[in-house]
Structures are given as structure tokens and as C-alpha cells.
Amino acid sequence: MTEESAALPAEGERIAKFLARAGVASRREAEKLIEQGIVTVNGKVLDTPAFKVTPDMDIRVDGTRIGKPDQPRLWRYHKPDGLVTTHKDPQGRQTVFDTLVGRLPRVISVGRLDLTTEGLLLLTNSGDLSRRLELPSTGWARRYRVRAHGRVRQSALDRLQDGVEIDGVQYGPVKATLDQQQGGNAWITLSINEGKNREVRNLMRYLGLDVNRLIRTAYGPFQLGKLPKDGIEEIPGKQLKEQLGKAICQEIGL
């Protein structure tokens, strides 16, 4: 769409934001889709994320038409272990989204859980909401129950509260409580705010512990509770607005 790119529409919203609100991908991922040349507007391949669109345009991603974005929604999902948190897995493993076919509209996850990690995974139809909830600046803690092989004292766990550096990576403050030492395993409740890749496992390894079960029990104000494995429950719109606050609601169009 080179000719059109020289004279971008004055009204509407940027295509990356539109795709994010439609739950296709985050804004950053939407820009990558445009770079791949699989986003079209009115039949022409788009070449810039700055292009502005309106709902009446024929907007497609890899041939699939994307309609007017729905109201942002959020679901709690109890992820079993053994599922990959991605839409497509190059190794052919079953994904979270394979289990959701026919149960939910198009959704993306708020962050990810490792293959062997179970527990609370938030799902949303809004890329903007997903991105906002993932930001450390939102201030929402992720809480986990950890079973790890090895022995540890509370004094060792307290070393994490000021943050630590592991293999050149700086991890922020962590609140960790030893719940029980059961034989060769320790049960620990742990709360983090950043959610770096494999953060909990790396922190436990730093203390000489080997994680053999990891369950996320809360993400900010939203709890896993008694939601059964593979269970889904939508968070009511009123509750969602109350937890997000006015500023975030305005930002994401809720």
C-alpha cells in the first residue's frame, strides 16, 4: 500500500491498535504481522503500522477478516500442566488455545505459563488490556505455590526480598514464605511483580532448590480459587472496571 502510505487517513485509529483491541495480537506483535506482509486493508497489503483504519474497512490478517473490536473482556482459566501457552507450537505440542476452540471467542493470554506450570492464566479479547496488565508499572503481583526438592530455611528465602542477580539478570524484590518442609520437599508461597522468563524456577535454583511443581494462584486481584483444571470463568464487567480503575479503563476503551 505504498501510494496510500504517503497520504494516511486523517481519522480512525492506527492499525496496530485496532488489531490489538480486536484481540488479534499485542500492538508490538501486530507490527510484526504487518512486517510479514499478511495484513491487508481493502484488498491491499499494508506496509506501515502508522496507517489509520475505520471499522467499515475490509481489514484482514492472513486472509481472515477482522471485524469491529468487541468490548474488552477478561477470563480466568485454570491451565493444566502439559499445555503450551502459544497459538502455534513448532513442535506440535498441544496448546492452551487448542483446548479453547469453541469455548471462547478469539483470545490471547496475559503473559504466559511454562509447559509444566499450572494454575491461573488470564485470557482476554483485547491486546491493549493484555499489554497493560503485563507491565510491571501496573503493580500487580503474581502469586505462586511452589513445591521444590531440597531443604531451605526462611532466612534464605528472606535474601530474595531486596532482589538478586542471577546469571547477569537482575530480579526485583520477591516475597517468599516457607509454608512446610515435607520430607525432601519444601512448599513455598512466593510473590513476584515482574514475571521474567522462568523467574520462579531460577530464583529457587539460586537457593539450591529444584522446582517439581509450580502453581500460579493469583494474578493481581484475581484468584485461582476453586476453579477446576481446564475450567474457565469470565470476570464480570463491573468487577473488571473496579479492579482496573478509571485511568486504565479509559486507556483501553472499556
Instruction: Mark whether 167 is an active-site residue.
Output: no
Distance CA 206, CA 203 (A): 5
| Neighbouring-strand partners of residue 77 | 121, 232
* Radius of gyration of the chain from its Cα atoms, rounded to whole angstroms: 21
Cβ 82 vs Cβ 94: under 8 Å? yes
Distance CA 174, CA 200 (A): 10
- Closest to 48 measured CA to CA, from 81, 85, 4, 110: 4
Q: Which of 47, 114, 158, 230 is catalytic?
A: 114
| Strands 117-124 and 210-219, bridge-based pairing | parallel
How many CB atoms sit inside 10 A of residue 150's CB? Answer: 16
| Strands 74-79 and 232-234, bridge-based pairing | antiparallel
Query: To 10 degrees, the CA torsion angle through 220, 232, 109, 148?
Result: 60
Cβ 162 vs Cβ 148: under 8 Å? no
Residue type present at position 219: Y
* Structural element, H or E, at residue 213: strand 210-219
Catalytic machinery residues: 114
